[in-house]
Amino acid sequence: MNKKNIRFLIVEDDEMIRLIHKDFLKDLYPGSEIIEAENGAQGICHYFENHPNIILLDMMMPIMGGEAFLDILEEGHQCNILKDKPKIIVVTAIKEVKELMNIGKRFAVEAVISKPLVQNQLKSLLKDWIS
């Protein structure tokens, strides 16, 4: 992925956390496109409209949470509706180790990070994906 045409999708119900994530991404990758969704349902719509390369995903949200979001993307990929597999970073308040491990095994999930996300964590993860 090239820094100039990278497209991020932030799926997070907490407006302040979305803003923090957006600021981190703007700082690390100026000029990248950043799309925001406040729940999984909006996230799915934005995903199909904008085809982001990297998704920051919360798991616990109203209307549609992260599990359903991942289910829909996985189904779309299996049915060849989705050609490209996104890279998903789950940023969650979930603390239970077994649950976190199960999330890490889900379709397209590349990393699971506990909230709050630290900019250096994000930078470290993304450096291998974005040139």
pLDDT digits (tens, 9 = 90+) for 36-50: 999 999 999 999 999
Q: What count of other Cβ atoms lies within 10 Å of the Cβ of residue 122?
A: 21
**Assigned domain for 89 exists:** yes
What is the model's pLDDT at position 3?
64
User: How far, in Å, CA of 13 to CA of 58, rounded?
Assistant: 8
Q: Given this model, what pLDDT does residue 117 score?
A: 87
Please say if the pLDDT value at position 1 is more than 70. Answer: no
The residue with greater pLDDT, 2 or 77, is 77
Domain residues for 41? 3-126
Q: Is the pLDDT of residue 2 over 80?
A: no
pLDDT digits (tens, 9 = 90+) for 97-114: 888 899 999 999 999 998
Number of domains in the chain: 1
CATH number where 99 lies? 3.40.50.2300
Whether the pLDDT of residue 93 is over 70: the answer is yes
More confident residue, 109 or 1: 109
Q: Which residue has the higher pLDDT, 2 or 58?
A: 58
> Bridge-partner residues for 7, per DSSP?
33
pTM of the model: 0.93
Handedness of CA 13, 114, 28, 43 (dihedral sign): negative
Q: Do the domain assignments include residue 47?
A: yes
